[in-house]
């Protein structure tokens, strides 16, 4: 069954339970169930039919939240766009997925208008609180006649979720209804995000750490407390005010929460579970978090957008006592319910336990593929296994340890940055002969984007100039925070590929893993 079945179940088993709170707005599951057919009817009146893409651009809000279950009711495909992207990046995504409708909030409306000026086929709709004259508004959809659910199946495409691209362009991860519902099932089978939970949505909806829990709470018929964007003080207030029981926080968020001046003064006794993931956590921060929140259980979720998004879990008990003594707290976890993992060599042959190779996975959560990128899809899903691009090893008890990244990806503050995206931009600077972008250690963000540049003969530029040049074309989190210049050629492999590992090595010297 498709996602609409989860909404119908929620309205049936918990009609009076609060489904979502956003600011002073509150909706029960019964209210969501009554609104969905009308909102879907409004989308249908705009021409949205089965297979049409509906894009969303903005901070988290109540209207945005509803689109995740109303769009598929009308047969559409959700496309949450990254509001931190530059105009160039957003334009690429719109041209790639060609949505029929684009929803935008007040903050992103100027950008949305600019993008739609040259894309007349895209219908722009406001989801801001204040209406603009002559601009269609989300609330107008509620005036439409309700329509019956199109009854999409598990095999139908639910959403396109853009992530970094190894070719320098973002690529859309295609997740089916089966995929996202499997992700919700994993959360419940692993013991978190149940119907009695009150979940604080602190991560953005364009990111898997935002959409996965929201859909999981829909499937569980639980309650979501939605924050527009992450703010440590707001998260603390939400937990205390609503007696929240759980949230997903990337390590940087955890650090901001426990470092906040109001942390010790906030009643966090309701908090039962914190799921962390999206980027590695340092041992020091993990120890601080366990000590700061002794009544909460911590669970690490390991995965990626392509896996809807979790494939492994490391539970609270594995962070303590004898498990910790043997270093098990450093693992990514063990395969979740419905998933298989193994470690393979370059020929996709499974390696013996303890040997390092690429982590691959298969199961109900594995994506359909990349939108309109057949070659990349075939490469990622070779032999029926999703190739994560992470290097790791598996011990005798099935615990997987991530030790490096095979693909040149940087994770800074939970955001994925593919180095080739940044390299392609910096290489356009007239003074640059060649460049390499790597991740180097950062106390707060775990990794920061760093560029190593060789200039053209006789050319001059500065670190500040290159950073400003990149900022004009890239999202802020992708822009290099530092630049070094070198005159000698980059080290090359026998196949004439740049050895990024050698360039990274001095920055990560003395660490057991460049991911810790």
Q: Is residue 323 part of a domain?
A: yes
What is the pLDDT of the chain when averaged over all its residues?
92
Domain identity same for 400 and 425: no
Q: Are 303 and 332 in contact (CB under 8 A)?
A: no
* Domain shared by 10 and 135, yes or no: yes
Of the two residues 310 and 512, the one the predictor is more confident about is 310
Single pTM value for the model: 0.84
Q: How confident is the model at residue 274, as a pLDDT?
A: 96
Query: Which of 151, 176, 201 is at the close of a domain?
Result: 176
Classify burial at 313, counting beta carbons within 10 Å of its beta carbon; exposed 0-12, middle 13-18, buried 19 or more.
Answer: buried
pLDDT one-digit tens code per residue, 397-455? 999 998 766 666 787 877 778 777 788 788 889 999 888 899 898 887 878 999 999 99
Does some domain include residue 74? yes
The reported pLDDT for the residue numbered 167 is 54
CATH assignment of the domain containing 371: 2.30.38.10
Please give the pLDDT value at position 495.
46
Residues of the domain holding 133: 4-176
Q: How does 466-503 read in b/e, with b if 16+ C-beta sit within 10 Å?
A: bbebbeebbbebbbbeebeeeeeebeeeeeeebebeeb
| H helix count then E strand count, the chain | 15, 25
User: Which of the listed residues 176, 194, 217 is the one where a domain comes to its end?
Assistant: 176
Average pLDDT over every residue of 15-41: 98
Q: Is 253 part of any domain? A: no
The verdict on residue 245 lying in a domain is no
Over 274-336, what HEC string results? Answer: EEEECCCCCHHHHHHHHHHCCCCEEEEEEECHHHCCEEEEECHHHHCHHHHHCCHHHCCEEEC
Residue 513 has pLDDT above 60, yes or no: no
* Rounded percentage of the chain residues whose pLDDT exceeds 70: 96
Do 454 and 386 belong together in one domain?
Answer: no
Flag whether 311 is in a domain. Answer: yes
Which of the four pLDDT bands, split at 50, 70 and 90, describes residue 516? Answer: very low
| Per-residue pLDDT, 185 | 93
Token code pair at residue 110: 């100027």
Shared domain check, 444 and 394 = no
Give yes or no: residues 19 and 72 share one domain.
yes
Tell me: the pLDDT tens digits for 256-315?
A: 899 999 999 999 999 999 999 876 677 778 889 999 999 999 999 999 999 999 999 999
3-class secondary structure, 237: helix
pLDDT of 479: 94
Is residue 22 located within the same domain as residue 166?
A: yes
pLDDT of residue 68 exceeding 80, the answer is yes
Q: 154 pLDDT band (50/70/90 cuts)? A: very high
pLDDT at residue 450 in the model: 95
Asked whether residue 39 is domain-assigned, the answer is: yes
The residue ranking higher by pLDDT, 164 or 65, is 65
Q: What are 242-264's pLDDT values in tens digits?
A: 999 999 998 878 988 999 999 99
Structure tokens at 7: 């909404």
Work out the average pLDDT over 197-216: 95
pLDDT value, residue 508: 84
| Count of domains for the chain | 3
155: CATH: 3.40.50.12780
- CATH code: domain of residue 427: 3.30.300.30
- Tell me, yes or no, whether 450 and 334 share the same domain: no
Q: What angle do CA 512, 515, 516 make, to 5 degrees?
A: 60
Q: Are residues 384 and 430 in the same domain?
A: no
Q: Which two tokens stand for residue 471?
A: 């900022």
Question: Do 355 and 491 belong to one domain?
Answer: no
Percent of the chain with pLDDT over 90: 76
Is the same domain home to 49 and 8? Answer: yes
Predicted confidence band of residue 491 (pLDDT cuts 50, 70, 90): confident
pLDDT of residue 447: 87
Q: Is the dihedral of CA 456, 458, 463, 466 positive or negative?
A: negative
Contact call for residues 213 and 337 (beta carbons, < 8 A): no
Question: Of 374, 405, 436, at which residue does a domain stop?
Answer: 405
For residue 373, tell me if it sits in a domain: yes
In a domain, 241, yes or no: no
> Are 426 and 372 in the same domain?
no
Rg (C-alpha) for the chain, rounded Å, is: 23
Residues 326 and 441 in one domain: no
Q: pLDDT tens digit string along 463-490? A: 999 999 999 889 899 999 999 999 998 8
pLDDT tens, 217-226? 999 999 999 9
Is the pLDDT at 362 greater than 80, yes or no? yes
């Amino acid at each position: 069954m498709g996602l609409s079945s989860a909404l119908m179940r929620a309205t049936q088993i918990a009609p009076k339970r609060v489904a979502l709170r956003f600011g002073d707005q509150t909706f029960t599951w019964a209210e969501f169930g009554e609104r969905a057919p009308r909102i879907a009817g409004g989308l249908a009146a705009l021409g949205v039919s089965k297979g049409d893409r509906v894009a969303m651009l903005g901070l988290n809000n109540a209207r945005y939240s509803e689109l995740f279950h109303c769009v598929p009711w009308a047969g559409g495909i959700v496309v949450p766009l990254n509001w931190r992207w530059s105009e160039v990046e957003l334009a690429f995504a719109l041209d790639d997925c060609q949505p029929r409708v684009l929803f935008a909030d007040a903050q992103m409306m100027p950008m949305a208008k600019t993008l739609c000026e040259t894309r007349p086929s895209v219908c722009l709709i406001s989801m801001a609180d204040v209406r603009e004259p002559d601009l269609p508004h989300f609330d107008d959809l509620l005036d439409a006649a309700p329509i019956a659910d199109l009854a999409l199946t598990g095999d139908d495409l639910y959403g396109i979720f853009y992530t970094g691209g190894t070719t320098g362009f973002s690529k859309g991860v295609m997740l089916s209804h089966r995929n996202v519902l499997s992700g919700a099932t994993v959360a419940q089978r692993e013991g978190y995000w149940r119907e009695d939970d009150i979940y604080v949505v602190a991560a953005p909806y364009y990111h898997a750490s935002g959409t996965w829990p929201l859909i999981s709470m829909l499937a569980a018929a639980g309650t979501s407390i939605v924050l527009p964007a992450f703010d440590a003080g707001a998260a603390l207030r939400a937990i205390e005010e609503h007696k929240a029981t759980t949230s997903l926080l990337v390590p940087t968020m955890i650090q901001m929460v426990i470092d906040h001046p109001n942390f010790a003064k906030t009643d966090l006794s309701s908090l039962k579970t914190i799921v962390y993931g999206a980027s590695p956590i340092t041992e020091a921060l993990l120890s601080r978090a366990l000590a700061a929140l002794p009544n909460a259980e911590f669970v690490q979720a390991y995965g990626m957008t392509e896996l809807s998004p979790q494939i492994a879990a490391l539970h609270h008990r594995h962070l303590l006592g004898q498990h910790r003594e043997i270093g098990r707290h450093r693992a990514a976890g063990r395969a979740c319910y419905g998933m298989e993992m193994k470690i393979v060599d370059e020929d996709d042959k499974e390696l013996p336990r303890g040997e390092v190779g690429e982590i691959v996975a298969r199961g109900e959560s594995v994506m359909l593929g990349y939108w309109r990128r057949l070659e990349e899809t075939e490469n990622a899903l070779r032999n029926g296994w999703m190739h994560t691009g992470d290097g790791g090893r598996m011990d005798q008890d099935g615990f997987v340890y991530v030790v490096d990244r095979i693909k040149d990806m940087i994770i800074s503050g939970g955001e994925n940055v593919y180095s080739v995206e940044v390299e392609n931009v910096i290489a356009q600077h007239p003074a640059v002969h060649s460049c390499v972008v790597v991740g180097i250690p950062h106390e707060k963000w775990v990794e920061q984007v760093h560029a190593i540049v060789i200039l053209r003969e006789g050319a001059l530029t500065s670190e500040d100039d290159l950073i400003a040049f990149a900022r004009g074309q890239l999202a802020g989190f992708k822009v290099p925070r530092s630049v070094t210049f070198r005159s000698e050629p980059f080290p090359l492999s026998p196949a004439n590929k740049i050895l990024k590992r050698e360039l990274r090595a001095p920055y990560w010297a003395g660490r057991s893993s460049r991911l810790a």
